Structure 1
Amino acid sequence: MASFSRPGGTRRHADVVLSTALSADGPACSPVAASWWRSHVQHGLDPANAAPRRAETITARELSERRQRFDLLLHVAGSRLDRLFRCVSQSACGVFLSDADGYVLDGRWRSGDQSSFESWGLRPGRNWSEAAVGTNGIGTCLAEERPLIIHQSEHFLESNIAMSCMDAPIHGPDGRLIGALDVSSARSDQTAPANQMIAALVRQAARQIEADCFRHSHSGHRIVLIDGSKGDDDSEPADTQTALVAVNADDLVVGATRAARQALGLTPTGAFAPVPTDDLLTGEAPNSGFVPAERSAVVRALARQNGNVSRAARDLGIGRATLYRRMKRLGLAQHSIES
């Protein structure tokens, strides 16, 4: 990435953005330059224009309607935003939550930093998609669907180069992109190491919001945590991913987070046909038929009752003598104790 001076220096930000974006190899060598190219060529934006028309703030009514559409996200994310803000607020940082279109839905900031964020238009109702304001934390995170840092002069618009943004995407219970979590810093002396530490907090909070949304949407199901390190997504460390599946009463997997879908080879988004839990998690089907199923049911009932046959029989809805006969046939006599 080419270096350049701040406005007033030897070379204007807008000149560097355009020359890099339109160069033969710039967009191919740098993700930021590729975003600059999209901002200028695909979206028709000018880096010197401080107020693109598409960046206008929507009305209070339109914002209310958007918030209603993302009611689950806002309900679940509130406490996570509060916790994240407590971690970063002393560093002149604000915390912002956007929808998948780039509209800011909610935010947290200190009153002393409000003027800085207001001057950038970083507030609820403002459109921060890449198509609206070019390369920026929220918009580029949504466009590329990955965690990232956009530090000061990496922004497309010259008017935004005083801030640093750390972002992570948020995926809904069905794997679809539903928003972005952003921490933006108003500090002119923000350093790269500080950005990295904050970015780790943002990624963790975004994954927690995803997990909370998933659990809320599958509140009637058993939630199982799986090993999410087997997926193909190397955009973030495996330990920051939340790979969860929802299992119904018939022991079928009926839902999965994005990380779980990647790890298990399920369709990336949307609904999928229910899959037997053992088939999906072990990669092979267990012995089929009624005998193995019956044996499993009896073993589970005995385990729940610590081997007490009388209570296990009541759980299964059969008589104790019947259960003894089935246990003998299944070779389970050693699992029991007398009532």
Structure 2
Amino acid sequence: MRDVEHVREIERVLQGRPTTRDSVVLASWRRCVERHGLDPARSSPAHIVPEAQLRAHREQAERLIAIARSGLESLFRQVAGQNYVLLLADAKSVTVDFFGDPRFEAELQAAGLYLGSDWSEHLAGTCGVGACIATGEAVTIHQSDHFDLHHTPLSCTAAPIFDTSGQLAAVLDLSLLRSPQPKASQNLAMTLVRTAARRVEMANLMAMARREWVLRLSSSPEFLEVDPEAAVALDGAGTIIGMTHAARTALGPQLLGRRLDEVTTLTVDDLPDLMRGRPAEDRVIRLPDGRALFGHAIAPQTVRLPRQGTQLPGGLSSLAGPDPHMQALLERAARLAGSRLALLIRGATGTGKERLARAIHMCRRDGGCFRLLDCAALEAGALDLPPGPGTLVLKGVEDLDHAAQALLLRRLADCPLRIIATTRCDLAQMVRDGRFRPDLFFRIAGAALDLPPLHLRQDMDWLIERMLRGLSPDALRLSAGARAELKSRLWPGNLRELAATLEAAALISGGEVIDSPDLPPPLLAPAPEAEVEDLPAILDACGWNMALAARRLGVNRSTVLRRVRAAGLVPAA
């Protein structure tokens, strides 16, 4: 009698008469009759594909099965004892992985809740897997929601799994042979399959993007690192090359191929600031529509540099462009990063010492916390080091007076922290002059890294382009004259001065092109013939362009030529 009533209800739906069924079920019933030609009065057994066909489906889905396996095992343990069956079907509706109670194996096979069952809507009628594939949404098809009479005892809750390009890759289905009558009894099953599908997508993205940046997103800081809601993968230029399905809800529907600064206020250069080392609640990402999310950036495991065969871990890869000196420096930093050796980073104001320290810290997956101690702001006796392992950066260590130096040395005696000190001075000369304790110097200077000033760097064009992308998501660019003007300056303020100059010029120009008149004048003009002792390095930085080197030095081109000849300088091979 129930079967007859079920058939009559389907007929009433086809006639357009009212019913209490979900819209997903109603649309599927219509497709079953009008598109697939199925008969609601006929009871069809489960469709099981031949062994060879199943093997082919499993081989095609082998990678996804391997990635999903751990998460599915965990989900099945959660529902153990409640008679649930867990199915993983591929995008063609064939079950390629299965978790169920072996005591009910025969009954499960007969119901189609087993390996090799084909849950395509045109074969099985309205069902969890078929409706999920048809709609791309998570669904519950409960008992008489099923079209085919053979399946009406079942309750099936299914969620889609999308690949990193946004295409449907699989369906995760949690089913019962028999269940309580109310459809609402499967609300928990819906939550479980949605969560599991999201985690499988996350695991798939992480596996795909081992050599790329990954930005994971959450609406709350509490779950940011342990169970984020969405993620995108980015190449070195900040272009989105992969995503989880939830990222479209978080950042917008069209993501692939767009730059990060088009969908957020971030650029790829900001990603190191969103890594572990800052409290989760401080890692806020602003969106163009005013919303805020929390972000956790994961650096590439290894990134190829322009020089063949060289690799850098994590955030180190984003600190320089095609500059041989900087690449050699970063390679050295990478070799030192895995140890606990104390490091001294030397460089003028604005050369990026703190950023290099953070990138070194992030090279260790077990690096612990990242703490910055501004030595210039310390008061007498106020030197409390953070507990636990991690990295402590002593910013401007030359600013410590003798009393603070002695106190720091005592504090470091039993400190588990990795020490990275930064200085803008010649600390060794301060030791020789008696202004800095030699025992503290050797405690914090296990190895030294020297950052060059901006006017000696050969990747100026690369730096300018990265900073321009950070200023505007639009096509902000420099005229040839403005670029030549910037490259001719001596930059005593280094990267910080360049960034401020570009920001001011962008505001003054008010358009897409920054021209020479838009550039503010140097705030600290160099004296003529400055940095003469760096003539070979300046020539290298200028590509041996004598006119450019002369402008940077504040002298005539003939003066540069005379000094080059007198010193017998020639370009490197």
TM normalised by structure 1 equals: 0.76
| Counterpart in the other structure of 1:328 | 493
How far did 1:219 drift? 1.3
Query: 1:163·1:188 contact (CA, 8 Å) conserved in 2?
Result: yes
1:31-180 alignment, distance < 5 Å: 31-51=24-44, 56-180=47-171
Q: Does 1:254 align with 2:241?
A: yes
Q: Structure 1 241/120 Cα, relative in aligned 2: closer, same or farther at 3 Å?
A: farther
| Counterpart in the other structure of 1:282 | 265
1:230-309 alignment, distance < 5 Å: 242-267=229-254, 272-273=256-257, 275=259, 277-282=260-265, 299-301=354-356, 303-304=358-359, 306=393, 307=395, 308-309=422-423
Q: Does 1:18 align with 2:11?
A: yes
Segment of structure 1 superposing worse, 81-90 or 195-204: 81-90
| Counterpart in the other structure of 2:288 | none
Query: 1:91·1:187 contact (CA, 8 Å) conserved in 2?
Result: no
How far did 1:69 drift? 1.4
Q: Distance in 2 between matches of 1:153 and 1:28?
A: 10
Where is the helix percentage greater, Structure 1 or Structure 2? 1
Name the SS for the 1:98 alignment partner.
strand
Q: Distance in 2 between matches of 1:217 and 1:197?
A: 30
Q: Distance in 1 between matches of 2:131 and 2:24?
A: 10
Name the SS for the 1:49 alignment partner.
coil
How far did 1:59 drift? 1.7
Query: 1:94·1:110 contact (CA, 8 Å) conserved in 2?
Result: yes
For residues 18-43 of structure 1, give each alpha carbon's deviation from its aligned partner in whole angstroms, at most 9, with x where no partner exists. Answer: 22233355599732122111111111
How far did 1:213 drift? 0.8
Q: Distance in 1 between matches of 2:243 and 2:135?
A: 22
For residues 223-271 of structure 1, give each alpha carbon's deviation from its aligned partner in whole angstroms, at most 9, with x where no partner exists. Answer: 1113579xxxxxxxxxx98320113344443322222134323537xxx
Name the SS for the 1:300 alignment partner.
helix
Match of 2:201 among 207, 210, 220: 210
How far did 1:207 drift? 0.7
* Paired letter, 1:282: T
* Paired letter, 1:314: L
| Counterpart in the other structure of 1:337 | none
Q: Structure 1 303/161 Cα, relative in aligned 2: closer, same or farther at 3 Å?
A: closer
Q: Structure 1 299/42 Cα, relative in aligned 2: closer, same or farther at 3 Å?
A: same
Gaps in structure 1 of 5+ consecutive residues:
230-239, 287-292, 333-339
Name the SS for the 1:12 alignment partner.
helix
| Counterpart in the other structure of 1:314 | 449
How far did 1:313 drift? 8.3
| Counterpart in the other structure of 2:216 | 225
| Counterpart in the other structure of 2:508 | none
For residues 54-103 of structure 1, give each alpha carbon's deviation from its aligned partner in whole angstroms, at most 9, with x where no partner exists. Answer: x6322212111111211221011111121111122311110000011111
Q: Distance in 2 between matches of 1:296 and 1:278?
A: 24
Q: Percent identity?
A: 30
Q: Distance in 2 between matches of 1:195 and 1:119?
A: 22
TM normalised by structure 2 equals: 0.47
For residues 173-230 of structure 1, give each alpha carbon's deviation from its aligned partner in whole angstroms, at most 9, with x where no partner exists. Answer: 111101110011122435444311121111111111111111111111121113579x
Query: 2:162·2:168 contact (CA, 8 Å) conserved in 1?
Result: yes
Q: Structure 1 273/50 Cα, relative in aligned 2: closer, same or farther at 3 Å?
A: same
- Structure whose alpha-carbon radius of gyration is higher: 2
Q: Structure 1 25/36 Cα, relative in aligned 2: closer, same or farther at 3 Å?
A: same
Q: Distance in 1 between matches of 2:454 and 2:241?
A: 35
How far did 1:116 drift? 2.6
Q: Distance in 2 between matches of 1:193 and 1:184?
A: 14
Query: 2:21·2:145 contact (CA, 8 Å) conserved in 1?
Result: no
Q: Structure 1 29/50 Cα, relative in aligned 2: closer, same or farther at 3 Å?
A: closer
Q: Structure 1 296/194 Cα, relative in aligned 2: closer, same or farther at 3 Å?
A: farther
Q: Distance in 2 between matches of 1:253 and 1:30?
A: 35
Segment of structure 1 superposing worse, 86-95 or 25-34: 25-34
| Counterpart in the other structure of 1:233 | none
Name the SS for the 1:48 alignment partner.
coil
Query: 2:162·2:169 contact (CA, 8 Å) conserved in 1?
Result: yes
Q: Distance in 1 between matches of 2:73 and 2:176?
A: 16
Deviation beyond 4 Å, 4+ runs, structure 1: 24-29, 283-286, 293-299, 302-305, 309-313, 319-323, 329-332
Segment of structure 1 superposing worse, 23-32 or 162-171: 23-32
Q: Structure 1 44/266 Cα, relative in aligned 2: closer, same or farther at 3 Å?
A: same
Name the SS for the 1:58 alignment partner.
coil
For residues 156-178 of structure 1, give each alpha carbon's deviation from its aligned partner in whole angstroms, at most 9, with x where no partner exists. Answer: 01111111111111111111101
Q: Which has the higher contact order (CA 8 A, sep 6+)?
A: 1
Query: 1:21·1:34 contact (CA, 8 Å) conserved in 2?
Result: no
* Paired letter, 1:247: L
Give the number of equivalent residue pairs: 302
* Paired letter, 1:273: G
For residues 256-313 of structure 1, give each alpha carbon's deviation from its aligned partner in whole angstroms, at most 9, with x where no partner exists. Answer: 2222134323537xxx3352x3443218999xxxxxx996955522544734148998
Query: 1:309·1:320 contact (CA, 8 Å) conserved in 2?
Result: no
